[in-house]
Amino acid sequence: MANKIEIKYNGESFELPVMTGSENESAIDIGKLRSMTGLVTLDYGYKNTGSTTSEITFLDGEKGILRYRGYPIEQLAEKADFLEVAYLLIYGELPTKEEYEKWTRDITHHTLIHEDFRTIFEGFPSNAHPMGVLSSLVTSLTAFYPKSLDPERSMGELNMSIVRLIAKLPTMAAWAYKNELGFPLNYPDNAMSYVDNFLYMMFALPVEKYKVNPVISRALNKLLILHADHEQNCSASTVRLVGSSHASLYVSISAGINALWGPLHGGANQAVIEMLEEIIEDGGDIDKYIKKAKDKNDPFRLMGFGHRVYKNFDPRARIIKQSADEVLSALGVEDPVLEVAKKIEKIALEDEYFIQRKLYPNVDFYSGIIYRALGIPTEMFTVMFALGRLPGWIAQWLENRKNGEPIGRPRQIYTGVNERDYIPLENR
């Protein structure tokens, strides 16, 4: 394969290096393009731009492949524990038995959050969206752990920030939910596993005994693993970009949470359920909504369909679809929303518009249905995604710093008004 590319511009010829990754993906390295030719590249939404080299996650959107640090997502979702996968993403290898025990012990011992957080919770209106609450609370961690503001201070301090984030995010998420309901907050129970403890904090009430259902616990563990990383997506790129200014880990993660919130990204899981409910309330006319999705004059999109990089079935959607069937039958839940979802999927997969554009169901199409069956309320869906994505964001942030990448600062092509003189107010 050629390792150089020649470009011709204004009668001159220039050579740019072509680099190839470990899975034979190739890229033109345009680092010197502007100094050689005066040109920059223009790529709205970075559809064609690699922003970094990365050793964390490999995905091939054409073939529907996803691997974390080389391990296929199917194997991890089937066999691993979420904290094991978190360790793998962050530190590069699966933990040994001793490393795993220390890692889970460290995380278990940092699940409590400072009592002053209760005062912060009280300051939020009870109808505050939990994603907004979560991102604010993660930023607030800087006030409680000011040493975290200088991540270069020591590896020990940085590791503490990582452990605290993974340990405390479920507590914050569950408290944000309880606050919204106006219910008493549950303190973490360190005798429980990571996932069970989260379920306990979410659902236990002081008035009755709460027992974690293992079907729910297993399904949630799988969902968290499936969401744990997805290379340079919108929120991971946000985390890297914010971190590239040498902003601390906590504030970079908080920015990632906000990026995830949008309905075109992680917010899609909430939007999918809202869309399916709307279709049912509107009489269940699926064809009408398929037509709307295809109409260029209608802003409606089929939520949970399409992906920037998957032009084939999203491998996570395959696993989740199967899991949705298993969970619903194990819990004895009959959900009309699942029936509508299956019908939409079938129609869309046979429709020329979707076939031509390679629009397949993505991870969010079925995840919301499982969350509903698990009893998780709709406005918490994107929070669940954030809990899963946290180790990926941390790994991406660390890699950016480890690579010593420069501050992220894209160029632009200015298309505004040319120079003109200021007009005093009285003359305008």
362 binds ligand ACO (CB under 6 A): yes
268 binds ligand ACO (CB under 6 A): yes
Residue 307 is among the residues annotated as catalytic for this protein? yes
Q: C-beta of 293: minimal distance to ligand ACO in Å?
A: 4
Residue 427: CB atoms within 10 Å: 6
Rounded to 5 degrees, φ, ψ at 67 are -135, 135
Give me the catalytic one of 230, 265, 307, 314: 307
Give Dmax over CA atoms of the chain in angstroms: 80
Q: C-beta of 344: minimal distance to ligand ACO in Å?
A: 11
Q: From the list 19, 40, 264, 355, which residue makes contact with ligand ACO (rule: CB under 6 A)?
A: 264
Burial of 293 (0-12, 13-18, 19+ CB in 10 A): buried
Please identify, using beta-carbon distances, which residue of 164 and 265 lies nearer to ligand ACO.
Answer: 265
Please identify, using beta-carbon distances, which residue of 19 and 264 lies nearer to ligand ACO.
Answer: 264
307 binds ligand ACO (CB under 6 A): yes
Cα separation, 83 vs 234, in Å, equals 23
Tell me the residue nearest to ligand ACO as measured from the CB.
306
Rounded to 5 degrees, φ, ψ at 280 are -65, -45
318 binds ligand ACO (CB under 6 A): no
Please identify, using beta-carbon distances, which residue of 151 and 315 lies nearer to ligand ACO.
Answer: 315
Please identify, using beta-carbon distances, which residue of 45 and 125 lies nearer to ligand ACO.
Answer: 45
273 alpha-carbon distance from chain centroid: 18
Instruction: Please report the sign of the dihedral spanned by the C-alpha atoms of residue 190, residue 191, residue 192, residue 194.
Output: positive
Q: C-beta of 59: minimal distance to ligand ACO in Å?
A: 12
**C-alpha Rg value of the chain to the nearest Å:** 23
Single-letter code of the amino acid located at 106: D
Q: Which two tokens stand for residue 108?
A: 């278990």
Cα separation, 385 vs 233, in Å, equals 13
Q: C-beta of 252: minimal distance to ligand ACO in Å?
A: 19
345 binds ligand ACO (CB under 6 A): no
382 binds ligand ACO (CB under 6 A): no
Q: Which stretch binds ligand ACO (CB under 6 A): 70-78, 107-115, 305-313, 415-423?
A: 305-313
CA distances from 82 to 41, 115, 164, 219 (A): 40, 27, 16, 11
* Segment 30 to 59, residues that bind ligand ACO, using CB under 6 A: 45
304 binds ligand ACO (CB under 6 A): yes
128 φ/ψ sector (left φ>0, alpha ψ -120 to 50, else beta): beta
Cα separation, 188 vs 110, in Å, equals 10
Cα separation, 168 vs 198, in Å, equals 10
Cα separation, 92 vs 71, in Å, equals 11
291 binds ligand ACO (CB under 6 A): no
Please identify, using beta-carbon distances, which residue of 140 and 233 lies nearer to ligand ACO.
Answer: 233
3-state secondary structure of 57: strand
Q: C-beta of 2: minimal distance to ligand ACO in Å?
A: 28
301 binds ligand ACO (CB under 6 A): yes
Residue 364 is among the residues annotated as catalytic for this protein? yes
- C-beta of residue 243 within 8 angstroms of C-beta of residue 397: yes
302 binds ligand ACO (CB under 6 A): yes
359 binds ligand ACO (CB under 6 A): yes
303 binds ligand ACO (CB under 6 A): yes
305 binds ligand ACO (CB under 6 A): yes
Cα separation, 94 vs 221, in Å, equals 17
Q: Which stretch binds ligand ACO (CB under 6 A): 30-38, 205-213, 238-246, 355-363?
A: 355-363
Q: Which stretch binds ligand ACO (CB under 6 A): 141-149, 276-284, 302-310, 399-407?
A: 302-310
Q: In terms of Cα–Cα distance, which of 400, 137, 423 is closest to 258?
A: 137
Q: From the list 110, 265, 321, 372, which residue makes contact with ligand ACO (rule: CB under 6 A)?
A: 265
Q: Which stretch binds ligand ACO (CB under 6 A): 277-285, 325-333, 360-368, 373-381?
A: 360-368
Size of the site for ligand ACO (CB under 6 A): 19
DSSP state string for 391-424: HHHHHHHHHHHHTTPPPP-------S--------
Give me the catalytic one of 196, 229, 314, 364: 364
266 binds ligand ACO (CB under 6 A): yes
Q: In terms of Cα–Cα distance, which of 82, 112, 91 is closest to 389?
A: 82
Q: Which residues contact 8 (CB under 8 A, 6 or more apart)?
A: 14
Single-letter code of the amino acid located at 48: N
Q: From the list 180, 345, 364, 399, which residue makes contact with ligand ACO (rule: CB under 6 A)?
A: 364
- Contact residues: ligand ACO, CB under 6 A: 45, 264-266, 268, 293, 301-308, 357, 359, 362-364
> Which residues are marked as active site?
307, 364
